[in-house]
Structure 1
């Protein structure tokens, strides 16, 4: 954990200000004023699920460019790692209202799993992320033990049985660790830790923004369900930016994704 880490990165506009601007744009200026006084954690008390989803989408749109530069700033501020750093264009804007607000709507919100409704225990590389990725988890609002993130450290890099991205039951995973963060705090953890969204049993809505970095050339899980590129930070913001994803593209993981895409195209035809 890096207490006050967002301030250390000198973000031009604090994340909570951008969050309030998104609320003002999607709902009403008066709603943003209420939250400025009462806290972002009270979002679910002044709006419904559809508006929360719209706020999430608007905040995602507003943060796309800014968080890319923030991640580059973070990567370049790190001490020498002995390994080349790669960054992802992935952005996770995660607004989790209390569980009672979304109960019964999981099917409708399935596309927002991990963004509005909880994800079950998983390892990121089972999806589309390199095995050697690191998550940068930025608290926009207060994060409590009863609405945050659960990590099982004892399983790190241990072979776990899973069906696609679902952990199979009946495996020992050890004791969980749950985190508490204040607005502006950062949490860093390896994407290959087994982790899950903590179902929000608190009376507060939790706001978090996530980005990812890769230590060394990206390496993809042989059973990953997808692939996304990671970019060589040396080439970003240079005339050679188009080559930044090249190392990521020259992987078996990308070849597997090309085969998956070709099969989907064949099925549609």
Structure 2
């Protein structure tokens, strides 16, 4: 099928329509591709909806499946409670896994317009991002690694941090609508760099990666992007659930930083034309899945994918972007006071309109307009991201990790369950 609306966004935010046969080339060069009505075009949109409703019927009952069918998946959090969520997610993964081989094949054949062999990750990701104020009620449970990016927001990361192929392509498909405030963050400014992470796979706090690219989607639309783009989830600050199914594939043989990646056998050979090798590979996967799971369970016990973070000694060199981090503005402290009390002087000419700069380890200042400068705490109330590397939007400072807007009038954010940011008024003299 030919899609009338295939759009490419480059590093410099240049937007243009492209031909489908250019999708693979452009995405492997780091451009972000939007395909409108992608799932409808390959005949999978209603099929995926029905599969998920069947999983809900089996785990939460017929009545709740009917409610969701009538209300739409945006109302998922109103129908499915937090106690039911793990079983619903488990069944959804199981049912979607069975569709993944053909779904991947149709995407490559019909959307990418490719006829050559490729590899797909055996298990697609099912992502029910419910409003954060609701999930926070059980934040201890849902802050575990297994829910990152599925139910709760995942911080900025490269997929290779978690032992995924360095040549992977993500196809991120909306089943519900996706809004600014519950979507995906992509950071094109640092594409081509591999930023450093901690041993548990989190971005270092001193790294600078610019503002995020955010795209609103209608049900059935898809974003296609390279897995080595630094990307994260927006914290869901809306009143709707964002439901997305995503899968990873490689358009050539998968390449791993670590040759012993535990995901090496999870990428399955396939062929858009159903060649014998592809059919055999997928049959062997079905036969061996249970056996492999038993072996892995015996070896690793209850180890989960949190332990699959890339060993830092396997990386020949990370790309440190801390030198691009906003530099502190010069301040003069009033004798007898502490900088933490914000009783300090600074030259307001050093602060341009719309600019944020740190003034101490705990404080930032920002010029809202020609007449207003605001001081505020450096750490985001959500997960402590350094707001000195954020940006200003509509009177708010926006968190660089999860795109949370925080009012510089009163420190409040759309997530009412989060504490307010401490904000200080400043006055200009002379």
State TM-score, norm by structure 1. Answer: 0.82
In 2 relative to 1, CA 90–21 (structure 1 residues): closer, same or farther, beyond 3 Å?
Answer: closer
Aligned residue in 1 for 2:39? 6
- Displacement of 1:104: 4.9
| Structure 2: gaps spanning 5 or more residues | 1-33, 272-276, 286-296, 302-430
Say which one has the larger Rg.
Answer: 2
In 2 relative to 1, CA 103–86 (structure 1 residues): closer, same or farther, beyond 3 Å?
Answer: same
- Displacement of 1:142: 1.0
Q: Aligned equivalents of 1:14 and 1:239: distance in 2?
A: 25
The yes-or-no answer on 1:138 pairing with 2:184 is no
- Deviation track 1:156-175 (CA, whole Å, cap 9, x = no partner) reads 12131212321111122012
The correspondence for 2:236, drawn from 164, 187, 200, is 200
The correspondence for 1:183, drawn from 213, 219, 225, is 219
The correspondence for 1:126, drawn from 156, 161, 164, is 161
For the aligned residues, what is the CA RMSD? 2.7
In 2 relative to 1, CA 145–106 (structure 1 residues): closer, same or farther, beyond 3 Å?
Answer: same
The yes-or-no answer on 1:48 pairing with 2:81 is yes
The correspondence for 2:194, drawn from 145, 151, 159, is 159
- Deviation track 1:83-134 (CA, whole Å, cap 9, x = no partner) reads 8522211310111110011115333121222211111110101102101100
1:127·1:224 contact (CA, 8 Å) conserved in 2? Answer: no
- Matched residue SS, 1:93: strand
1:152·1:176 contact (CA, 8 Å) conserved in 2? Answer: yes
**Number of aligned residue pairs:** 248
In 2 relative to 1, CA 183–239 (structure 1 residues): closer, same or farther, beyond 3 Å?
Answer: closer
- Displacement of 1:238: 3.8
| Structure 1: gaps spanning 5 or more residues | 244-260
In 2 relative to 1, CA 148–99 (structure 1 residues): closer, same or farther, beyond 3 Å?
Answer: same
Aligned residue in 1 for 2:330? none
Q: Aligned equivalents of 1:125 and 1:166: distance in 2?
A: 12
2:118·2:253 contact (CA, 8 Å) conserved in 1? Answer: yes
